[in-house]
Amino acid sequence: MKKKEFAQLKTQQPEALRKSVLELKDKLWTLKTDLASGKVKNVREIRSVKKDIAQMLTLLNNMGTK
């Protein structure tokens, strides 16, 4: 996630961030299952999705909501 995208996330409502986190978790699960079956060619994408989830959860925690 680039700095501009992260700055846009700071302006979003907590509900929208939670929805985005759930979507990314689904994507991460799909990537992991595809990796196990040998379909994933870009393994680095898993790392970036995990990082995006962590950044969004950090924003949510800083907003005072879980």
Is the residue at 45 inside a domain? yes
pLDDT number for residue 6? 85
pLDDT number for residue 65? 56
Range of the domain at 32: 17-63
pLDDT number for residue 66? 52
Using one digit for the tens of pLDDT, what is the confidence trace for 4-21? 888 888 899 999 999 999
Is the residue at 5 inside a domain? no
> Where does residue 38 fall: left (phi above 0), alpha (psi -120 to 50 degrees), or beta otherwise?
left
Using one digit for the tens of pLDDT, what is the confidence trace for 24-59? 999 999 999 999 999 988 999 999 999 999 999 999
Is the residue at 4 inside a domain? no
pLDDT number for residue 36? 93
Is the residue at 3 inside a domain? no
Tokens 């939670």 -> residue: 18
Total structural domains within the chain: 1
Angle between helices 44-63 and 14-37 (to 10 degrees): 160
